[in-house]
């Protein structure tokens, strides 16, 4: 079984100094608690702090992720960052299709597909986010929506490419709203995601890590970590303080 993965998505928070300090705190905390968690840890600072964070985690087990990337290596794309540039900074991962990118910045499934392919070609692992809105859940469209997001994003995947992808289920209605998905709801969606992956990729689809990412915090991390087919977390606000992030990482200590 793959090692669980806990990703801290810092979003648009933190100066270079603040992000470097938090990264160092996480490295120190992991060092002190060695053996208390079986999870791998990745941090995703804002673009401006990637270099500072990379220096702070150098020679540690903590991985570095970008929060998005463009689908071209270079060109006239003002304001965009290519996966090749991110890889050069030390990013081994990139978050793609986050609900905020889909719903605030209107990224389409096809654009996310192109970003994912570019990230894999640059040698990075992709953390592909999928999830439904409250209206979609209430109208019984959850599995249809997520199935389409997966199908389009993963279409044309190169051979063995799925082995470089993590899937993060993040119900839009449970992100920063105070509402929480129950472990039963999470298990149902993760089961459907697994079935879709196996149908599309055979045995390779059985080993893809499926993370959960809807308002994960210390209070619910243990229950969620015990949920079938939850192989990690994509953590937002609770990853901005070592005091709230580390208990989430330790939720997988018994796995």
Choose the weakest-confidence range: 32-36, 117-121, 144-148, 194-198: 32-36
The C-alpha R_g of the chain, in whole angstroms, comes to 17
Choose the weakest-confidence range: 53-62, 74-83, 172-181, 224-233: 172-181
Cα 116 to Cα 133: distance, rounded to the nearest angstrom: 22
pLDDT category at 177 given cuts 50, 70, 90 is low
What is the predicted pLDDT for the residue at 73? 95
What is the second-level CATH architecture of the domain 69-240? Alpha-Beta Barrel (3.20)
Active site residues: 98, 170
Q: Tell me, what DSSP letter sits at residue 241?
A: S
What is the predicted pLDDT for the residue at 215? 87
Which residues touch 138 (CB under 8 Å, ≥6 apart)?
none
pLDDT category at 1 given cuts 50, 70, 90 is low
Cα 222 to Cα 156: distance, rounded to the nearest angstrom: 36
In degrees, rounded to 5, the angle at the alpha carbon of residue 177 between the alpha carbons of residues 44 and 233 is 35
Q: Tens digits of per-residue pLDDT, 86-142?
A: 999 999 999 999 999 999 999 999 999 999 999 999 999 999 999 999 999 999 999
What is the predicted pLDDT for the residue at 90? 97
């Amino acid at each position: 079984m793959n090692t669980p993965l806990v990703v801290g998505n810092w979003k648009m928070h933190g100066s270079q100094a603040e992000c470097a300090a938090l990264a160092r705190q996480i490295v120190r905390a992991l060092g002190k608690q060695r053996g208390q968690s079986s999870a791998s840890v990745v941090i995703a600072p804002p673009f401006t702090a990637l270099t500072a964070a990379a220096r702070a985690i150098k020679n540690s087990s903590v991985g570095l992720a970008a929060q998005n990337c463009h689908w071209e290596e270079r060109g006239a794309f003002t304001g965009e960052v290519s996966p090749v540039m991110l890889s050069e900074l030390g990013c081994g991962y990139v978050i793609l299709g986050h609900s905020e990118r889909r719903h605030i910045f209107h990224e389409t499934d096809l654009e996310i597909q192109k970003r994912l392919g570019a990230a894999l070609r640059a040698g990075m692992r992709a953390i592909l986010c999928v999830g439904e809105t409250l209206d979609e859940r209430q109208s019984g469209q959850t599995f249809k929506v997520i199935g389409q997001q997966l199908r389009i994003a993963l279409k044309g995947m190169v051979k063995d490419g799925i082995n470089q992808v993590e899937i993060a289920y993040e119900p839009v209605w449970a992100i920063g709203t105070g509402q929480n998905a129950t472990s039963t709801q999470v298990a149902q969606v993760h089961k459907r995601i697994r079935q879709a992956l196996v149908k599309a990729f055979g045995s390779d689809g059985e080993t893809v890590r499926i993370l959960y990412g809807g308002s994960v915090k210390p209070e619910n991390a243990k229950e969620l970590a015990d949920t079938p087919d939850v192989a990690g977390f994509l953590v937002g606000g609770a990853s901005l303080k070592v005091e709230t992030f580390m208990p989430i990482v330790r939720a997988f200590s018994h796995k």
